[in-house]
Structure 1
Amino acid sequence: MLLRIQNIMWLLLSICYTVGGKASDSPPGFPAPLTLVNFASELKQGLHLVEFYSPYCSHCNSLAPIWEKTWESFHEEGEKLNITMSQVNCIESGDICAKENIEFYPNLRLYGPNGFIKNFSGKRKAEAFIEFMKTEAADPSNTEVIDSQSVALTGHHFAKLLAGASPTRYLVSFWPSEDISHVDEKIQFKNCRECSTFSKAWGKLSEKLKEFNIATGHLNCQSNELICKELGFANLLEAGNDGANREPRIALLVPNKTTNNFFVYENPLTTDIAVYEEFAKRLYSNNEVPELTEIQIMDIINKNFAPLEEQKLHLVFNYDVKTVFPEDFDILEYLIEPLSKIPNMYLYKSVGDLRKVTHSAFEEMYGLINYNETEAEKSLNEDAFALNTITQTPTFYLFKDGDKIPHVFPGYSTTEMRNLDAIMQWVNEYATPLITQVTESNFEDLLGSTPSRYSNVIIVLTDSSRPKEQIQNIKDLFIGYYDYEHIRQQNMFQLILDERNDKERRVAELKSQKAQAERILNTLRKEIPHTDDKAVILTYVDIAKQKDLLSNIGINSHLEHKAGDVIMIDRKTGFFYELNTFGSTLTSSPYEIKDTLRSLNFPGPSIFKYVKHGKLINSPYNGYFEHLNVVHRHGIWGYIVVGIIMFSLFKLRRAMTAHKIKERYNSQGLLGVYHQKKPLD
Structure 2
Amino acid sequence: MKLSLAATVLISAVWAFPAAIPPPVVSLTVSSVEIAASSALPEPKADTDAKSDQNNENTKAAAEETAQAQASGPGDSKKLPDELTLATFDEFTASHVTFLEFYSPYCSHCKQLAPKWKKTFETLQKEQPDLPIHMRQVNCVESGDLCEREGISYYPNLRLYVPSKDAAKGKFVESYPRAMDRTPESFMRYMVRSVAEYNSGAIDLPSASVEGTAALGLNMSAGEIDEPYFVALFAASSAEWAKDSFSDSCIDCLEHKQTWSKVSNLVLGDARTVHFNCFSQAGICTKLGYPELTRPDATHSPRYAMFLPRAAGLVRLDYRGEPTSAEMSRFATKVSTSGRFEHVSRSDLASAGFLSKSVDNTKNGDRVVVVFAYEAEAVSAEDKAVLPYVLESVARSPFDVTLYVSSEDFSDALKAQAKGLLEYVAQDESFKVPEFDAKLHYATMSSALPTLYIFKENSLVPAVYQNYALEDMRDEKKIAKFIEKYSHPLCGPLTPELVRAYFNRKGRKNALRDDRVVVTFVNSADQKEMSALLQKVSLLAHEYSLLRKQYYYSQILTRRSEKKVHVDKMKQEKAKTADIVGAMRERVPHLFEDDDVVFAYVDLAEYPQFAMEAGWDVDGRNYVPGDAVVVSKTNKYYWDQNLQGAPLKMVPSSVRPVLEYLIDPKLVSEKPTGFSAKLSNSPYPSFLRYFDFVHQHGFFGYLVFFSIVFAVYKVVTRRRLHRGIISMVKSD
**What TM-score, normalized by structure 1, do the two folds share?**
0.71
- Paired letter, 2:540: G
- Paired letter, 1:587: K
In structure 2, what is the Cα distance between the partners aligned to 1:467 and 1:165? Answer: 49
Q: CA deviation at 1:218?
A: 1.0
Report if aligned partners of 1:250, 1:264 keep a CA contact under 8 Å in 2: yes
1:544 is the counterpart of 2:605: yes
- Match runs of 1:289-308 below 5 Å: 289-298=341-350, 299-302=353-356
- Paired letter, 2:589: P
After TM superposition, the structure 1 stretch with the greater mean CA deviation from structure 2, 569-578 or 415-424, is: 569-578
Report if aligned partners of 2:373, 2:408 keep a CA contact under 8 Å in 1: yes
In structure 1, what is the Cα distance between the partners aligned to 2:674 and 2:216? Answer: 64
Report if aligned partners of 1:580, 1:610 keep a CA contact under 8 Å in 2: no
- Paired letter, 2:404: Y
**Aligned CA distance change for structure 1 residues 548 and 453 (closer, same or farther; 3 Å):** closer
- Match runs of 1:555-566 below 5 Å: 555-556=616-617, 557-559=619-621, 561-566=623-628
**Aligned CA distance change for structure 1 residues 284 and 451 (closer, same or farther; 3 Å):** farther
In structure 2, what is the Cα distance between the partners aligned to 1:570 and 1:611? Answer: 19
In structure 1, what is the Cα distance between the partners aligned to 2:227 and 2:341? Answer: 17
- Paired letter, 1:335: V
- Match runs of 1:393-432 below 5 Å: 393-432=449-488
Report if aligned partners of 2:490, 2:541 keep a CA contact under 8 Å in 1: no
1:554 is the counterpart of 2:612: no
SS in 2 for 1:555: coil
Identity over aligned residues, as a percent?
22
- Paired letter, 2:316: F
**Aligned CA distance change for structure 1 residues 150 and 613 (closer, same or farther; 3 Å):** same
Which of 651, 661, 679 is equivalent to 1:589?
651
Q: Name the counterpart of 2:499.
A: 443
Report if aligned partners of 1:189, 1:196 keep a CA contact under 8 Å in 2: no
Q: CA deviation at 1:259?
A: 6.2
- Paired letter, 2:230: L
In structure 1, what is the Cα distance between the partners aligned to 2:415 and 2:354? Answer: 15
1:336 is the counterpart of 2:391: yes
In structure 1, what is the Cα distance between the partners aligned to 2:235 and 2:607? Answer: 37
In structure 2, what is the Cα distance between the partners aligned to 1:465 and 1:138? Answer: 23
1:166 is the counterpart of 2:225: yes
Q: Name the counterpart of 2:255.
A: 197
Report if aligned partners of 2:641, 2:675 keep a CA contact under 8 Å in 1: no
Report if aligned partners of 2:202, 2:262 keep a CA contact under 8 Å in 1: no
Q: CA deviation at 1:375?
A: 5.4
- Paired letter, 2:244: K
In structure 1, what is the Cα distance between the partners aligned to 2:250 and 2:694? Answer: 43
Q: CA deviation at 1:239?
A: 6.7
Which of 124, 146, 160 is equivalent to 2:205?
146
In structure 1, what is the Cα distance between the partners aligned to 2:200 and 2:642? Answer: 47
Count of residues in correspondence between the two structures: 535
SS in 1 for 2:555: helix
After TM superposition, the structure 1 stretch with the greater mean CA deviation from structure 2, 148-157 or 469-478, is: 148-157
- Paired letter, 1:157: L
SS in 2 for 1:576: strand
Report if aligned partners of 1:370, 1:378 keep a CA contact under 8 Å in 2: no
Report if aligned partners of 1:462, 1:473 keep a CA contact under 8 Å in 2: yes
Q: Name the counterpart of 1:214.
A: 271
Q: CA deviation at 1:178?
A: 2.9
SS in 2 for 1:528: coil
SS in 1 for 2:466: coil
Alpha-carbon displacement from aligned partner over 1:563-595 (angstroms, at most 9, x marks no partner): 222122234573333232344332222212212
Report if aligned partners of 1:457, 1:570 keep a CA contact under 8 Å in 2: yes
Q: Name the counterpart of 2:132.
A: none
After TM superposition, the structure 1 stretch with the greater mean CA deviation from structure 2, 349-358 or 231-240, is: 231-240
For the aligned residues, what is the CA RMSD?
A: 3.3
**Aligned CA distance change for structure 1 residues 638 and 306 (closer, same or farther; 3 Å):** farther
Report if aligned partners of 1:496, 1:529 keep a CA contact under 8 Å in 2: yes
- Paired letter, 2:579: R
In structure 1, what is the Cα distance between the partners aligned to 2:418 and 2:312? Answer: 43
Alpha-carbon displacement from aligned partner over 1:518-549 (angstroms, at most 9, x marks no partner): 21222222221111211212111112222222
Q: Name the counterpart of 2:523.
A: 463
Which of 336, 349, 354 is equivalent to 2:410?
354
In structure 1, what is the Cα distance between the partners aligned to 2:337 and 2:397? Answer: 14
In the alignment, structure 1 segments of 5+ residues that lack a partner are 1-73, 84-136, 675-681
In structure 1, what is the Cα distance between the partners aligned to 2:296 and 2:673? Answer: 58
Alpha-carbon displacement from aligned partner over 1:393-433 (angstroms, at most 9, x marks no partner): 22222212222111111211223223323322322232222
Q: CA deviation at 1:201?
A: 0.9
Q: Name the counterpart of 1:612.
A: 675
Which of 691, 695, 698 is equivalent to 1:628?
691
In structure 2, what is the Cα distance between the partners aligned to 1:190 and 1:611? Answer: 61
After TM superposition, the structure 1 stretch with the greater mean CA deviation from structure 2, 223-232 or 192-201, is: 223-232
**Aligned CA distance change for structure 1 residues 632 and 453 (closer, same or farther; 3 Å):** closer
In structure 1, what is the Cα distance between the partners aligned to 2:430 and 2:620? Answer: 34
In structure 1, what is the Cα distance between the partners aligned to 2:655 and 2:665? Answer: 14
In structure 1, what is the Cα distance between the partners aligned to 2:670 and 2:693? Answer: 20
Report if aligned partners of 1:148, 1:182 keep a CA contact under 8 Å in 2: no
In structure 2, what is the Cα distance between the partners aligned to 1:220 and 1:374? Answer: 64
**Aligned CA distance change for structure 1 residues 155 and 615 (closer, same or farther; 3 Å):** same
Q: Name the counterpart of 2:192.
A: none
Report if aligned partners of 1:599, 1:611 keep a CA contact under 8 Å in 2: no
**What TM-score, normalized by structure 2, do the two folds share?**
0.66
SS in 1 for 2:255: helix
In structure 1, what is the Cα distance between the partners aligned to 2:254 and 2:329? Answer: 20
In the alignment, structure 2 segments of 5+ residues that lack a partner are 1-44, 54-195
Report if aligned partners of 1:461, 1:563 keep a CA contact under 8 Å in 2: yes
Alpha-carbon displacement from aligned partner over 1:181-225 (angstroms, at most 9, x marks no partner): 747x53334255443332211001112223x16211111233444
Report if aligned partners of 1:172, 1:216 keep a CA contact under 8 Å in 2: yes
**Aligned CA distance change for structure 1 residues 143 and 279 (closer, same or farther; 3 Å):** closer
In structure 2, what is the Cα distance between the partners aligned to 1:162 and 1:293? Answer: 33
In structure 2, what is the Cα distance between the partners aligned to 1:559 and 1:213? Answer: 47
In structure 2, what is the Cα distance between the partners aligned to 1:263 and 1:634? Answer: 40
SS in 2 for 1:498: helix
Report if aligned partners of 2:425, 2:543 keep a CA contact under 8 Å in 1: yes
Report if aligned partners of 1:496, 1:528 keep a CA contact under 8 Å in 2: yes
Which of 269, 276, 280 is equivalent to 2:322?
269
In structure 2, what is the Cα distance between the partners aligned to 1:304 and 1:173? Answer: 41
Alpha-carbon displacement from aligned partner over 1:155-193 (angstroms, at most 9, x marks no partner): 34311333344343211111122335747x533342554
- Paired letter, 1:328: D
SS in 2 for 1:222: coil
1:580 is the counterpart of 2:642: yes
In structure 2, what is the Cα distance between the partners aligned to 1:613 and 1:153? Answer: 61
Q: Name the counterpart of 2:244.
A: 186
- Paired letter, 2:570: L
**Aligned CA distance change for structure 1 residues 506 and 155 (closer, same or farther; 3 Å):** same
Q: CA deviation at 1:601?
A: 3.0
Which of 280, 304, 310 is equivalent to 1:250?
304
